[in-house]
Amino acid sequence: MVIRRSGRSRNCGSPFVVSSSLGGHHVPVCSPHSPFTRFVQSGSFAGLLLVCTAIIAFVWANSPWRESYFAAQHTQLVLALGDARLDLSLAHWINDGLMAVFFLLVGLEIKRELLIGELASRRRASLAVAAALGGMLVPAGLYAVFNAGHPGASGWGIPMATDIAFALGILALLGSRIPLGLKVFLTALAIVDDLGAVLVIALFYTAGMNLMFLGLAALTWGLALVAGWQGVRSLKIYGVLGVLLWFFVLKSGLHATIAGVLLAFAVPIRRPQPLGSLTALAPSGRGEQLGAQLRDLEDLLERAQSPLHRLEHALHPVVTFLVLPVFALANAGVTVAGSSVGSVSLGVLVGLLLGKPLGVVGGAWLAVKLRLATLPRQVTWGHVMGAGFLAGIGFTMSLFVSNLAFETDALLIQAKLGVLLASVLAALLGAGWLLVGVRNPARGAASD
């Protein structure tokens, strides 16, 4: 039997590929996936799905049936349990409830990268942190210049965000033209960017505090942290604590999605069961006996994963196929008729299209100049500029911050128009730059 680590899940939702030799043949635990299935699991499909749902929302909001779109957003849904009652509109359930699941996944990815991923290395982390900081501060500054003294000044956090699904989806579409180091750099940059967005939301886009619920939230998070420190592996326990934490955070005045990130940092990542002991369970036999043994071994491998990895793998399809498409459908519908491009739209456009690449390249250049970091292998400054353009795809996070920044429809529409237009242009500029304007050193060397 062969057990090999394969990085991210590509076969069975597990980071391990298991096969057993039987009469000279290798029998996989899971059947191979078709090309369509592999495409569905790729980053490019996640971006394509978001594009499709956003287009549907935009067309719906500008069709003769536009009233039904906005009526659906404001439909009230009530959840009652005893005396506890939540009465929120459908849009709030999506933005405060479903998006908490998205932020839980973001938090899990941040924690994994900090402990065992790209951000665990000081030099790689320094490059990503410097580029991400530049890519947040410069766009926010440019937006502030356009909106200083205007009603839209509170939207400075909108152009700070990067949509990791879209950005990595574009890189996936470019395939072998892009060096692996650039994909790693953009992933790490987006993770740091997400962390910055979470801090901005928590610190600057929060309503008045309810100290009682804030204390209950702190107590619940403390219980989750203790469970993590004690190595509790049951995801059901974290699920119950997570629902309570979400409710208390929602009632405290903090934005409810912060609960997802807080819970993520409590879920343990250590692996208590050594994988070496699994090799003693090599299956033998034929037919149904072999199949049963392989299924038992697959279950054992699944249990050997840390709670963080198991939860992350479970959430990826939920976020990709449900949370983000539903969010895009609920938030990308902007009626063009009667709308105008004002200082908010211009600030978002300039921030994402100009501020992002300038900030990313400037931050990375400063880190390299100070010898805090080096560029990844085969990555040039042209590649970094292309990554900066792709970082200007704000979409999900930028639309989310727009909803927090503005309460008036006029300013919110301006912000959404700016986000949608900037994201499309940033995707085209980034892909075009990397496809035409940058020579891949590896490909060039191979052709010489």
pLDDT average, residue stretch 343-357: 95
In the chain, what are the domains? 33-206+255-270+306-447 (1.20.1530.10)
In sequence order, what are the beta bridge partners of 107? none
Six token digits for residue 26: 């290798």
Amino acid at 238: Y
pLDDT average, residue stretch 365-374: 93
Output the average pLDDT for the chain.
80
pLDDT average, residue stretch 128-134: 94
| More confident position, 291 or 81 | 81
pLDDT average, residue stretch 401-410: 89
**Least confident interval from 102-116, 216-230, 388-402:** 102-116
pLDDT, position 294: 62
pLDDT average, residue stretch 332-342: 76
pLDDT, position 43: 59
Q: pLDDT tens-digit profile of 39-54? A: 445 556 777 788 889 8
pLDDT at 95 over 90: no
Q: pLDDT tens-digit profile of 370-405? A: 999 989 888 999 999 999 999 999 888 899 899 889
Q: pLDDT tens-digit profile of 156-185? A: 999 998 887 778 778 877 877 788 888 888
pLDDT average, residue stretch 353-364: 96
pLDDT, position 169: 77
pLDDT, position 248: 92
pLDDT, position 190: 84
3-state secondary structure 296-336: HHHHHHHHHCCHHHHHHHHHHHHHHHHHHHHHHHHHCCCCC
pLDDT average, residue stretch 235-253: 92
